[in-house]
Amino acid sequence: MNILKAHLRSVAEFLDRYLPDLPTGGLFIPTRKSMTIGEPVVVSLRLGPRGTTVLMRGTVAWRRPGKHRTKTQAGIGIEFLESEEKTRDYLLSVARGDQIAISARRHQRLPLDLPVLWQVPGARQENMGVLRDIGRGGAFVMTEQSLDGETDVVLMMAPPGAEVAMPVSARIAWVAPGQSPEPGFGVAWKARDAGGGRRIKELVRRMERLGRVEPSAPAQ
């Protein structure tokens, strides 16, 4: 699957490139790359030089050639998937100044829609969430449960092809409150030893490989 970079200089550029006429919204990507109408893509989108990089799934809606005489820029129109509605609305609210964007992550994330069990160490209760993205630095879990930052959690995660989930230790780095488009929390991996660090890297690598070969299904 093609990953298209749209690292924009400002929120004004995002609003200028945004395509409101598409049914689920979209973005104009300047490129001369040959792509097929309907082809699935992932857009690596960043608002401003210090903004968060967000990965959004979509399809190629249209293409246009460049025209020197009219100064028309060559590129393609990407229509976002319906499952990206909340993220799209969040980005629009950030661009319009309604919210403050989350500080930039160190690692790029792969978008997912996978059920995940999580719990606080020592607690009996297991909680259900949805793993919305994952990367070598951490992950985002969408959940209605409210937790404070710096809380340790354990995610029960199954590598692709595995029958048994493995516990992965992490610490909450930031929290998206209930009124956010996607409430939940972002975590940073917390390896207890070198072996744990290698297991986390292998888990993420296998999920990244799965994401490149077979995109996750939209959330229901």
Instruction: Kindly state whether residues 116 and 68 are assigned to the same domain.
Output: no
Query: Tokens standing for 11?
Result: 């929120």
Instruction: Establish if 66 belongs to a structural domain.
Output: yes
In whole angstroms, give the CA distance from residue 14 to residue 32.
Answer: 20
Size (the chain), residues: 220
Instruction: Kindly state whether residues 42 and 120 are assigned to the same domain.
Output: no
The CATH number linked to 62 is 2.40.10.220
Query: Tokens standing for 42?
Result: 């992932």
Instruction: Kindly state whether residues 140 and 183 are assigned to the same domain.
Output: yes
Overall number of domains in the chain: 2
Give pTM, 2 decimals: 0.49
pLDDT, mean of residues 97-111 = 51
Q: Which residues pair with 169 in a beta bridge?
A: 154
Instruction: Kindly state whether residues 153 and 76 are assigned to the same domain.
Output: no
Instruction: Establish if 74 belongs to a structural domain.
Output: yes
pLDDT tens, 12-46?
Answer: 888 889 999 999 999 999 998 889 999 999 998 88
Instruction: Kindly state whether residues 119 and 205 are assigned to the same domain.
Output: yes
pLDDT of the residue at 195: 66
Instruction: Establish if 100 belongs to a structural domain.
Output: no
Instruction: Determine the 3-state secondary structure of 193 from DSSP.
Output: coil
Instruction: Establish if 104 belongs to a structural domain.
Output: no
Instruction: Establish if 60 belongs to a structural domain.
Output: yes
Instruction: Kindly state whether residues 121 and 62 are assigned to the same domain.
Output: no
Instruction: Establish if 38 belongs to a structural domain.
Output: yes
* Last-in-domain residue among 95, 118, 133: 95
Instruction: Kindly state whether residues 131 and 209 are assigned to the same domain.
Output: yes
Does position 59 have pLDDT exceeding 90, yes or no? Answer: yes
Does position 174 have pLDDT exceeding 90, yes or no? Answer: no
* Region of residue 170 (left: phi > 0; alpha: psi -120 to 50; beta: else): beta
Distances (CA, A) of 3 to 39, 43, 51, 214: 12, 6, 18, 14
pLDDT tens, 146-158?
Answer: 787 778 999 988 7
Instruction: Determine the 3-state secondary structure of 88 from DSSP.
Output: helix
Instruction: Establish if 44 belongs to a structural domain.
Output: yes
Domain residues for the domain of 37 are: 2-95
Instruction: Establish if 103 belongs to a structural domain.
Output: no
Instruction: Kindly state whether residues 91 and 159 are assigned to the same domain.
Output: no
Instruction: Kindly state whether residues 14 and 73 are assigned to the same domain.
Output: yes
Instruction: Kindly state whether residues 29 and 118 are assigned to the same domain.
Output: no
* Last-in-domain residue among 95, 128, 145: 95
